[in-house]
Structure 1
Amino acid sequence: MGNYSKNISKRFAHTRIKQGYCLICGSFGRLSPDHVPPKGAITITKVEQRHISEVIGMVPSDVKGVPSPNGSKFKTICHECNNSHLGGNDGEVARVCKYLTLKIQDYFRYVDHPYNFIVTDVDSIKFARAMVGHILAATSIEECKKPPEYSPYFQPLKNFVLGDNSALNDSHDIYYWFYPFKRHVSAKCVAFYNEGHLSLISLLSFFPIAFMITKKNEGTYPAHASKLTLGDERLVLDLSSLGYSYSAFPFHGLKGNQMYALTDFQTIVSYPIGQ
C-alpha cells in the first residue's frame, strides 16, 4: 500500500473541496467545477491529470494520474463566475478552435501551400476573457482556503475577466501560437529565465492553440508566436514546422542558460486515456 500510494500523482491532494474563496471574484461559498480546456473547444473524453513536475523527464507510467471521466476539471471558482464570466464567453473559444481545426486538417491534407498561415475571425475580448479566466481557475484548491490577497500580477487579470475591458492595457501582453499536441497544459504562473532576462508566464495550451500571458513589455515567447491585442478581429496561426520545437514552450527542451521555476500544483498536464 505504501509503495502504491507513492505512485499516485500529488494532484490528488489538490482536487476535493466543497466551499472556498472563488479565485476570480473572491467571494466565499460553494465552488463550481470548471472544465479546462472549456467544453466545446475540445472533444470531452476520459483524462488523467498530473503535475507537470511529475511528467518532465519521467516515463508517463511512473506516476498514476488523477482520473476524470469527462474532461479536465478544477473546482476553484464560484457558480456565477463559471457560468457568466467564463461560460458566457466559452462559445467564442469553441467556435475559433473548431474552425482552426478544420483549416489545419485541410493544410496537412494537401501538400502544396503558398503560405504557412491560417486565419480566423475572432472576438478577441470574449476569447481572451474566457482563456484568462480558465488560467486563473486551473490550480489547486489550496488557493481557495484563505481570503484572496492583492497581487499586482493577478488582480488586473481578475478585473478583466470580471468585465473591465481595459484592465490589461498597461499590465499584460498576450501571445499565442500553434499547439500540435493532444495533451493539455495549464500553468498559472511560471518564472522563465532566458539569456539574462526573467519573465513571468501564465499559459493554457490545448490543440490547436497555446495562449500565454506575460507582464507588459517583459515577456519571453517563441519566435513564431503572434501577439494578441484586445480589439483584434483576426487570429493568425503559423503552421510552419520551424516552430514545432518550441510549441510546448516553456516546457520544451531547455537550451543554453534557460531555466524555469514553478509551484507544482499550479502547473498541470492532462491527457486523454483509453483511446
Structure 2
Amino acid sequence: MHTEIAQGHCLICGAHGRLSWDHVPPQGSISITKVEQVHLTEVMGVDPVPVKGVKSPNGSKFKTICKNCNSNHLGANDQEVARVYKEITKLATDHFTYARNHLDYVSLPFDAVRFCRAMIGHILSATTVEECKREPVETPYFTPLQRFVMGDNAAIDSTHDIYCWFYPHRHHLSAKMFAFKNRGNLCTISVLSFFPLAFSITEKGKGIYPSGATKVELTDERLYVNLSSGHFPYSGFPFTGPSGDQMMLMSNSQAIVSYPIKD
C-alpha cells in the first residue's frame, strides 16, 4: 500500500500490462471517505491509539489488477455486494432499534456466486504491488480462487469453504492470507471485513472461524446472519488476537486495516 507501479502482472488473471485501481471495500457497498491505512501487525495489541498510517483521500484502494478483471469480474458483480450490505444494514438496524425480530438470525435472498466472486476478487487484489512484479505461478490455495473469480463456478468446490458473520466495527480489514492454528488444526485463511459483514475463505474441511459465523454454499439462495451480541467479542477475527494454544502467522503486506478519518 506504500508504492505504486503502472504495469505489472494482474493478481487475478496473471496477464502483464497496465494495472487499475480497485477499491477495497468496493464502491457502492460503503461511503467512500478519507481513510488511514496500517498493517494489521502494527495495530494488534496497540491501545488506545493506533500507529500513524498512510492516508488516502478516497478510500482504501490497491493498484494490483488489470482493467478487464476490475470491470468484468469484480465491477459486474459489485452491485450484488452493495445490495447485500445495504439490506443487512437495514435488517440489523431494525433488529437492534425496534426489536422486531426476537430471533438472533436475519436472512435475505442473494446470488451466492456473484456475491462470492466479487468478494474473493477484492481479497486477491488487496495486497502489495510487489506481487505484481513477479511472474505468476500456480498454487493450491490461490489458483482455484483466481479461476473462480474468472468464471469457473466449480473451481473451489473441493478446495475452499466460505463463511460470513456479523461485523459491528467501524474499521475495515482485508487479509489476503494468513495461517491460524487452533487446537491442533492449522488452516490458511483469507478475510475481508467491513460493516456490517465479515467474509472469510478457508481451506476445505479445515475451517477456523469465529463463533457466530455461518457457512455459505454457492448453491444458497439466502444468506443467514447471526446478530447475537454474544458473538461480538469474536467478530473482529483475527484482530482479536490468539489465546490459549492458538498461533497466527502472516505477512504484514497482506493484512491491511483501514480507519475512516475526518479531514
Q: Do both share a fold (TM > 0.5)?
A: yes
Q: 1:52-91: per-residue Cα shift (whole Å, max 9, x none)?
A: 1111122475632111111110000000000110000000
Following the alignment from structure 2 to structure 1, what is the Cα–Cα distance between the partners of residues 96 and 49?
A: 31
Following the alignment from structure 2 to structure 1, what is the Cα–Cα distance between the partners of residues 79 and 193?
A: 17
1:116-265 maps to which residues of 2 (within 5 A)? 116-265=104-253
1:76 aligned partner: 64
Closer/same/farther in 2, CA of residues 62 and 225 from structure 1, 3 Å limit: closer
SS of 1:97's equivalent in the other structure is helix
Q: 1:113-156: per-residue Cα shift (whole Å, max 9, x none)?
A: 42011111100000000000000000000100111111011000
Following the alignment from structure 2 to structure 1, what is the Cα–Cα distance between the partners of residues 26 and 165?
A: 18
Following the alignment from structure 2 to structure 1, what is the Cα–Cα distance between the partners of residues 49 and 97?
A: 33
Following the alignment from structure 1 to structure 2, what is the Cα–Cα distance between the partners of residues 112 and 228?
A: 25
Q: Give % identity.
A: 56
Q: 1:223-246: per-residue Cα shift (whole Å, max 9, x none)?
A: 311110002111111000111111
Contact 2:166-2:227 within 8 A present in 1 as well: yes
Following the alignment from structure 1 to structure 2, what is the Cα–Cα distance between the partners of residues 111 and 136?
A: 38
Closer/same/farther in 2, CA of residues 60 and 25 from structure 1, 3 Å limit: farther
Instruction: Flag as ranges the 4+ runs of structure 1 deviating above 3 A.
Output: 59-62
SS of 1:58's equivalent in the other structure is coil
Contact 2:94-2:100 within 8 A present in 1 as well: no
Following the alignment from structure 2 to structure 1, what is the Cα–Cα distance between the partners of residues 199 and 50?
A: 29
Number of residue pairs matched by the alignment: 263
SS of 2:205's equivalent in the other structure is coil
- Post-superposition shift, 1:40? 0.4
In the alignment, residue 167 of structure 1 is paired with which amino acid? A
Following the alignment from structure 1 to structure 2, what is the Cα–Cα distance between the partners of residues 253 and 192?
A: 10
- Post-superposition shift, 1:32? 0.3
Gaps in structure 1 of 5+ consecutive residues: 1-10
2:103 aligned partner: 115
Contact 2:113-2:153 within 8 A present in 1 as well: yes
In the alignment, residue 156 of structure 2 is paired with which amino acid? L
Superposed CA RMSD in Å reads: 1.3
SS of 1:144's equivalent in the other structure is helix
In the alignment, residue 36 of structure 1 is paired with which amino acid? V
Gaps in structure 2 of 5+ consecutive residues: none
Following the alignment from structure 1 to structure 2, what is the Cα–Cα distance between the partners of residues 37 and 204?
A: 8
